[in-house]
Amino acid sequence: MKLDSILSKPAWAHFLAMPELHQVPLSALATADEFFDWIRATGVAAPSSQDYAFWAASKSEADAQDRLRLLLAAFKLIIPSEESGIVAAFKLLQAVEPIKEKDTGEDQLHWDPCAPRKQRRIRSVSIDPMDLPERWIETLRRSAMGLPSNG
């Protein structure tokens, strides 16, 4: 991405007069631009460390640290007040274990809810049917004959 195409966006209008802007590497500006696009799309007004971490990991968890590093390089010069939130996001990403994708094998793609299960549930009756109230016994008898139980 070219510098003029980044800085021509409305999100950068406020920063154009800052002399520090020209010290930011192009890769850091491009990353900050991606973050501004994400903010615009999600409507986040005041990003927290969780927002920074979520944004950084949204494309690829492997690149999340690098994305935060580039964003920090840009924000140190143009928005220094956000530096602590980005540093906290680094800690969040280091503390969270990568989420493993669920197995999407053939058995899950062609699941049949009516197919017999491999392990049947062992059932046992904890009360003798004759110890049930008379109305319940009658309901069980009607159900066994296929009749409605509301008799």
Residue 15, classed as helix, strand or coil, is: helix
Q: Mind listing the pLDDT tens digit for each residue in 74-109? A: 989 888 999 999 999 988 888 765 554 555 555 455
pLDDT for 130 beyond 50: yes
Per-domain residue ranges for the chain? 3-95
Helix axes 64-78, 49-59, angle to 10 degrees: 130
Question: 135 vs 121, which has greater pLDDT?
Answer: 135
pLDDT at 117: 67
- Reading the block at residue 93, the tokens are 């990403």
d(CA 45, CA 56): 17
Residue 44's φ and ψ, nearest 5 degrees, are: -70, 120
- Reading the block at residue 77, the tokens are 């010069």
**Burial of 68 (C-beta count, 10 Å sphere; 0-12/13-18/19+):** buried
Find the range with the poorest average confidence among 2-6, 50-54, 98-102, 124-128. 98-102
Q: Per the confidence metrics, is the pTM higher than 0.75?
A: no
